[in-house]
Amino acid sequence: MRKNIFIAFVFILISLNACNITEPNRMENATVTNKSSITPIDFKTDGITYSVSNAAGSSITIQTRWTDAVELLNNPRAIANKYYDYSDGDKLKIDFVDMPVYKFKIKNNSNSNITLKEANNLLTDTYGGTLTLAAHTEEQNVNIYTEQPLLSVVTPTNISFTIKRDGKIIIIEEV
């Protein structure tokens, strides 16, 4: 029994060492690559600001820790993937890739022109973008960078609205 416990303990120690979990605050070189369609991407980690373009073969090397957060500064439609590349000698990598886009159809069944806004600024291809729909518009295609949008309706008058969702179709109606 003791032999099995000892073997399990050794296996756990080797696993933790291989995953770099035992030294999360160690400073190390990280290769940062912009694989997104956005250029440049400005980001901050450990209080230092960096910029990386998406030109072919373009990457930068920074000093960071595994535990340091990567904060996008210009709010692009991108995601930071932070990982260890074990095929390249356990090197820390940060890749920026395009955020997934979801195609929705929006229809305004109300008697008023409305403006839609998404709570996390994930509506349209521009950060903070809004969408204005005329009264009784036919379905309009829109890109939303989340599958579960939190939409709010803005109107020049004090009219109540409901937002109904049927799959990928969003319908705005007056209450």
Render pLDDT for 84-136 as a digit per residue (tens, 0 to 9): 998 877 899 999 999 999 999 999 998 888 899 998 889 988 888 899 999 99
pLDDT band at 22 (very low <50, low <70, confident <90, very high): very low
Residue 46 structure tokens = 């450990």
Q: How many CB atoms lie within 10 A of CB 78?
A: 22
> What share of the chain in percent tops pLDDT 70?
87
Q: Give the separation between CA 54 and CA 103, rounded to whole angstroms.
A: 25
Average pLDDT over the chain, rounded to an integer: 85
Model-level pTM? 0.70
What's the rounded mean pLDDT across residues 138-166?
85
Name the DSSP letter for residue 36: S
Asked if residue 4 has pLDDT above 80, the reply is: no
Residue 56: Cβ within 10 Å count? 5
